[in-house]
Amino acid sequence: MPFTTLPTLLSEALSARGYAAPTPVQAAVLEEEARGRDLVVSAQTGSGKTVAFGLAMADELLGEAGRAGHAGAPISLVIAPTRELALQVSKELIWLYGGAGARIATCVGGMDAAKERRALSQGAHIVVGTPGRLRDHLDRGALNLTALRVAVLDEADEMLDMGFREELEAILDATPEGRRTLLFSATMPKPIAALARRYQRDALHINTVGAERGHGDIAYQAVTVAPSDIEKAVVNLLRYHDAPTAMLFCATRETVRHLHASLTERGFGAVALSGEHSQNERNAALQALRDRRARVCVATDVAARGIDLPSLSLVVHVELPRDAETLQHRSGRTGRAGKKGTAVLLVPYQRRRRVESMLKGAKINAEWINAPTMDDIRVKDRERLMAALLEPAELDEEDRALGAQLLSQRPAEEIAALLVRSHRASMPNPEELVDASSGPPPREGPRPGFEDTAWFRMPIGRQDNADPRWILPLLCRRGHITRGEIGAIRITGNETLFEIRSDSAGRFMASVKRTAQVDGDPEDALPIEAVQGAPRDEARQNRRGDRANDGPPQRRYDARPTLGARPGAPGRPAGARPPFKGKPGGGKPFGGKPSGGKPYKARRPD
C-alpha cells in the first residue's frame, strides 16, 4: 500500500527517495492501533526500521499544518549503540523531516562536544546520539529532556550487550512520565523484556521478522574447509566473487589484525575495524570503502555495528558466529534495500553438525558447497574479462591512434594475450586448497618431519584432568622446545604419552632435568621419562583387546615404574604417586600456572 495516511511533506520526501510502498515494519507502525502507543518492535537489520520509527513519531513532531514548530527542547530522542549507526540514523531523519522544517542534532563520541552543546542550546526537534555522549550532555545540563514526547531505542539488544544499561536507565529516568517509548530490537532476550516492563505502559508488540524479506535477499552458503585452509579459502572466495565490497567477520581483534595483514600482503585493498582502532582510523577505513579505494573490510561483530555500505554484496563468516542471532546480524550487512547479497560460512569439517543445527534453528536454508578452486577462479576471471572487453565503450581519437600503433608493431593475437596477462597480474593469485568436503584428509604415515621420533610419558592421565591445551605449553616450557617439535599426544586413564622429534629429544630431556624442581610449582616436579619403542594406534587397539580378557592388561612397552614420593609429603609411603589432581571438569591443572604467571584457561570452541 502507498504512504497515503502520512502528512504531505513526508509522503513527498519518501517519493523523492524512491519509496513506493512501506516495508512490513513500516506498515505495522502506521496501523491505527499503533498510533500514540508504546511499541516493542522485533525487526531485522536492513528491514527499513529507521524510516519506520521516523514515521511512528510523526504525530508528536508535526503540527496540524504538517510542519515542525519552533525548535526548543527536543521532542524526540533516538539512542543508538554505535557512532556509525547514530550518524546513519541522523542522515535518514534529515531527508525524511528536512522538508517539514525539523532541526536534528547529533551527539556521538569522537565529535566536538562543545559544538554539540551549542547545537543543543540553539534548539532541536530531534536528538540522535550514543548512550555515553547523551549521558555526558545530560549530566552537564546541556541536554534538556523535560519536553520529550518520544524516546526511541534502536538496536536495544546491542546496547545492553555492550554494557550501556546504566546510561540508558539514567537517560530514560530523566524523561517525562507521559512520553512514548519505542523499543526496536532484532532479538528479545530477557534483559530487553525487563527494560520494556520498567519504562513502557501497555506496549504493543510488533514482530515482523517472519513477514519481512527475512533471508530472501541473502543467499546463504556453507563451505566445509580444513582448519588449516581457512585463510586460503577466504582468498579464493574474494577472488571468485570479486565483490565491489566484501566484509569478513572475525571473533577477535587478533584475528582481524592477522587476516588484514595477510590480505594486504597478497595485494587486496583491505581495511580493518576492531576495538583497538581509534575513531579517526575507523573514519578513514569507512571512507576508503565508500571511495572504492578498498574493497575488503575485516571486522569484529561490535566494530561493524551501524555500518551501511550500499555496495556490500559479500559477507564471509571467517570465524563462526556464536549463535543464530549473531549470524543474522552479521549477514544483515548485505542484501539491503532490495539488493541481492551472499553470506558464506567457513565451516571446519569438525564443526559441520553444530552449524547445521544453528542454521536449522534460524530457519536458514544454506547451500553446502566446496570452496572455489583455482580452476573455478580462472573460469570466472575469463568470463569477467570477456564481459569487460566486449562491453560497449566510447573511444576517442587518442585511444584509436595508440591501438593502431600497437597493431603496427605486434600481431593482434599477441596484443590480446598481453592484455589478458596484464589483467591477471593485477589480481592476487588464488590458493590451492585441501579437499575437505568429506572430512579431514587421510594421513598416510607420520606427518612430515616426524618420521623419526622419540616417545616420552608423564604419570598423569584423564583421571587427573590431563588436557593437551595445558600439556603442550608445559612441555615447551620444561623442555625448551617449540610446538613444532612436538608430535602426537595420547592421553590414557593414568598417563600421557607424547613424541618429540629425534633430533630434539636429547636437548628436550636435558632441559627437563634442569627445570625439575621438587619445591614450588607442582608442574615442575612432574616426572617425565623416555619410553622404549613407539606406541602407535595398534598398541591402543591391543590394550582394548586386553581389557576384554579376564586376565590383567598387557602392555607392548615396559610398565611405568613406581614413582617416588615427593620429599616432605607426610603420610605417603615410599613409592607412592604424587597427588597431581586438577579441578573436576577441567580448568587449571593441579594448581599450576603456565609461563607468564597466568592460569590456564580453555578457549571458546569457536
Query: Considering only CA atoms, which of 316, 314, 297 is closest in space to residue 230?
Result: 316
Q: C-alpha 21: how far from its chain's center?
A: 33
* Helical H segments across 397-494, by residue range: 397-409, 412-425, 468-479
The class level of CATH for 8-207 reads alpha beta
CB 263 within 8 A of CB 235: yes
Distance of alpha carbon 306 from alpha carbon 140, whole angstroms = 27
Q: Is residue 93 a contact partner of residue 78, using CB atoms and an 8 Å limit?
A: yes
**Domain 218-376 falls under CATH 3.40.50.300:** yes
Q: What is the pLDDT of residue 45?
A: 64
Residue 78 burial class via C-beta count within 10 angstroms: exposed 0-12, middle 13-18, buried 19 and up: buried
Question: How far does Cα 553 stand from its chain's mean position?
Answer: 49
Going by the DSSP 8-state scheme, the letter that residue 149 receives in this structure is -
Over the stretch 313-372, which tens digit does the pLDDT of each residue have? 899 999 998 888 788 878 887 876 567 889 999 998 888 888 998 898 888 889 999 999
Q: Is the pLDDT confidence value at 448 over 70?
A: no
Its pTM stands at 0.53
- Contact in structure between 191 and 165 (CB atoms under 8 Å): yes
What mean pLDDT comes out for the span 398-416? 86
For the stretch 302-317, pLDDT in tens is: 777 767 777 888 999 9
Tell the burial category of 337 from Cβ atoms under 10 Å away from its Cβ (0-12, 13-18, 19+): exposed
Check whether 587 has a pLDDT greater than 70.
no
Looking at 264-268, 319-323, 445-449, 468-472, which range is the least confident one? 445-449
Pick the CATH number of 450-543+576-606 from 3.30.930.10, 3.50.50.60, 3.30.70.2280, 3.40.50.150: 3.30.70.2280
Q: For residue 297, what pLDDT band results from cuts at 50, 70 and 90? A: very high
Do 218-376 and 450-543+576-606 have matching folds?
no
**Statement: residue 50 has pLDDT above 60:** yes
State residue 435's pLDDT score.
55
pLDDT digits 0-9 by tens, 420-431:
888 777 788 888
> Quick one: pLDDT at residue 331?
85
Domain boundaries of the chain, sorted by first residue: 8-207, 218-376, 450-543+576-606
Neighbouring CB atoms inside 10 A of 221's CB total: 15
